[in-house]
Amino acid sequence: MCGIVGYVGQRPCSELLLGGLERLEHRGYDSAGVALLAADSTALRVRAVGGIAQLRETLQRHPQRAALRTARTGIGHTRWATHGRVSEDNAHPLTDDRGRVQIVLNGIVENHAELRARLIAEGAAFASETDAEVVAHLVARALDHDGLAEAVRRSLATLRGHFAFVVASPEQPDTLVGTRRACPLVIGHGEGERYLGSALVGLPDALTGAQALDDDEVATLEADAVRVLDRGGRPARTRRLALGARIEQATLGTHESFTLAEIAEQPRALRRTLRAAPSGPGLDELPWVQLCAARRLTIVACGTSYHAGLVGRLLLERWAGLRVEVDIASEWRYRDPAIAPGDLVLGITQSGETADTIGALRTARASGANVLALTNVPGSQVTREASAVLLTDAGAEVGVAATKTFVTQVALLAALARQLGIARGTLPDAEAERLGDELQRLPAVAEAARAAAEQPIARAAERWGRAPFFLFLGRHVGLPVALEGALKLKEIAYIPSDAYAAGEMKHGPIALLGEGTPVVCVATQSPVLDKLRSNVAEVRARGAHVLAIATEGAAGVIADEADELVLVPPTDPLLSPIPAVVPLQLLAHAISSARGLDPDRPRNLAKTVTVE
C-alpha cells in the first residue's frame, strides 16, 4: 500500500512523477504529494487530500508552479493511510523540522512511538501524526555527520517494521537515496536518468534496464550512476528485472467502469491463461518430483485469492488425491503450522505484493518448505520468494475488486490439479481428457454466464438494491463462491453481507432472517445439491427472498424456491465457480452503480496491500 516514485536526471520531472503516481494510484488514493528540488536547491513540497487529479489541480494553482515545472530531482507518493488520519499534514512527502530531507515511505515503522518520544526529548518538533515522519528526523540528524546514503543506512539500523522509502535532500540536490525492508522498491535506468518506484508499472515504458533491491540494501542514484550497498556498507549485487515481463495496461472501452470492463474481459483472460493448456503456463517449471511425492500442500492467501485457494483445495483433493490445507496468510504465519523440510506451500496473490502472503511464504521457506507462488504479475515480489511460479495472464486489473484475476486463478489451479492427477495416477485417462476439454470450454462458459445473468441481475439489483443486509449461502464448491459474492457486495456496494456454509446456517445466522431478507444461494451442480435444496426451503420458510444461481438443466427444486433465478451454463461441477461467480460480480456492480458509488475505487481500500 502507498505508491512511491523518485526521479533524478536531466529532464524536468514533475510530469514524470505525476505519471508514475497515476500508474501506482491503485496502491492508495487517500492523499498524494510530490517534493521537487528546484534549481536554486530549495525543496518545494506540494500535497493534496485525494488522488493524483487533486494533486495536479493543486500544482497548477501553486504560486511557484514555474519553478516546480523545471525541477530535475523529485519524489512522489500516493497514500493509503495507516498511522494518522487522511489530511494534508499527514500526506507525504514528509520532512524534518529543519527541512533538510524530504521522504516518501510505503509500509509501517513499527517502533515509531518510541522513536518519536526519543526524538521529541532531543528537541525535534513533529508536524504529522504519521509513523513515517520519524524517518525524516532520523535521517536529517544523521546528516550532521554523514552524506545522505550513509545517513539512511545508519537510520535503517534503528527502524523496525516493513517499509520502503526514498529520500531527497536540498543539500545533495543531484542525488536520491532509497531503501526497503519487506516492501518492494525497484530501480529504473534511462538515458541520463534514474528512477525509483514501488513497482515497475510506476516507471516509464522507455527504460533501458531495471533492478530490484533486496532487504536493507541502500541505493544511491545520480543521473548517470547507481550504487547499491548492503546493510554492512559493502557493494551489493542486485537482481536485474526483465522489462518485457510487464503486463498490459487496462482499457475502459465503452464500459462505465474498469470493474465492469474486467468482468466482461473474463473470457479473454481465461483464454490467455489457459493458452498453453492442458498443462497451463508455468506448469512445466514446477518441481514435479516433489509434487508427485507430496503428502500435503498448504495454500496461503488473502481476500479473493483465499477464496480461489478454497476452490483449489477441492480440485486438488478430488483430481490429484492430495491433502490440502488452505489458510488466511495473516493467520497462518502466526500459528505453529508444523511445516517440515520438503513440505509444499503455495502462496496465491494476484498482485504478487501482499505483505502477509509474502511473510507466510518466508516463514515456510525458513522451515525448509518448497515454496510455490501463483500470481498475475511477472517480476512481482512473490516471484522472487518462490522456487517455482505459476502465472495467470489476466492482464492488469485496475478495479480494486478482484474479478478476472479470481477466475483465472481458479482456472490455473484446475489445470494444475488435472496435471497433477495425471502425474500421480489419480485421474484415469478418459477423465483427464474430459476435464481438459472442460477447461478449454471455460472462456465460452464464462461468456454465456454473463449474457444469461445480465437481465435477472438487473431485476434483482432493482428489487433488493436498498436492502440493509444480504446473506449468501453455498455448500461444497458453492461456498467459496458465496464468500466471494459477499466480499464483492461489501467492498464495492458497501452493503453489510455475510456468507455462510448453508448447512451451518441453522447454527446461528438463520436468526438474521426476516420477511424479505435477500438470500443469495449458490446452487450450481455439486455433490450436495440435494442438501442445499433443503437449506433453501428452510430460508424461504422464514420469509427470506431467494436469489438462486443454478445450473442450466439442473435447477430442479431450487427453481421453485427462488424469487429470482439466474441460470449459468453447465460445466464440470468443480469448475462451476467460474460461471457462478459472474452473476455475483454483476450484482455487486449493479448495486454499487445504482447507489452512485465508484466501484473502481471503493473507500478505504487499495489494490495492493503491502502492510501487514
Binding site for ligand M6R (CB under 6 A): 302-305, 349-351, 354, 357, 400-402, 487, 491, 609
Nearer to ligand M6R, 238 or 304 (CB): 304
Cα 115 from Cα 111, distance rounded (Å): 6
* Cell, residue 377: 504479475
Q: In this structure, are residues 354 and 609 in contact, taking their beta carbons and an 8 Å threshold?
A: yes
Closer Cβ to ligand M6R, 453 or 581, answer by number: 581
Nearest to ligand M6R of 226, 390 (CB atom): 390
Q: Is 490 a catalytic residue?
A: no
Question: CA 456, 461, 463, 464 torsion: positive or negative?
Answer: positive
For residue 466, how many C-alpha atoms fall within 13 Å in the half-sphere facing its CB?
2
Active-site annotation holds for 2:
yes
Question: What whole-number distance in Å separates Cα of residue 418 and Cα of residue 426?
Answer: 9
Q: Which of 404, 488, 490, 607 is catalytic?
A: 607
What's the closest the beta carbon of residue 304 comes to ligand M6R, in angstroms? 3
Q: How far is the CB of 106 from ligand M6R (least distance, A)?
A: 15
| Of residues 118, 154, 151, the one with CA closest to residue 134 | 118
Closer of 402 and 546 to ligand M6R (Cβ)? 402
Between 354 and 592, CB nearer to ligand M6R: 354
CB atoms inside a 10 Å sphere around CB 430? 8
The residue from 2, 13, 183, 521 that is catalytic is 2
Distance of CA 473 to the CA centre of its chain: 26
Question: With contact defined as beta carbons under 8 Å apart, do 196 and 185 qualify?
Answer: yes
Pick the closer one to ligand M6R by CB: 136 or 487: 487
CB of 580 to ligand M6R, least distance (A): 16
Q: Is residue 323 a contact partner of residue 406, using CB atoms and an 8 Å limit?
A: no
> In this complex, which beta carbon is closest to ligand M6R, that of residue 459 or of residue 595?
595
Cβ 310 to ligand M6R shortest distance, Å:
13
**Cell match 488466511: residue?**
328
Closest approach, Cβ 329 to ligand M6R, in A, equals 8
Whose CB is nearest to ligand M6R?
303
- Check: CB of residue 470 under 8 Å from CB of residue 495: yes
Q: What is the DSSP letter of 286?
A: S
Residue nearer to ligand M6R on the CB measure, 229 or 402: 402
- How far, in Å, CA of 58 to CA of 50, rounded? 11
Q: Is 166 exposed, middle or buried (0-12, 13-18, 19+ CB in 10 A)?
A: buried
Contact call for residues 203 and 189 (beta carbons, < 8 A): no
| Three-class DSSP category at 493 | helix
Q: What is the DSSP string of 376-423?
A: SSTTSHHHHH-SEEEE-------SSS-SHHHHHHHHHHHHHHHHHHHH
Name the minimum Å distance from CB 88 to ligand M6R: 27
DSSP E strand stretches across 266-397 = 296-301, 323-328, 344-349, 370-375, 388-391
CB 74 to ligand M6R: min, Å: 29
Reference 610, options 128, 75, 237, 202; nearest CA is: 202
Tell me how far, at minimum, the Cβ of 360 lies from ligand M6R, in Å. 11
- The residues that are catalytic are 2, 607
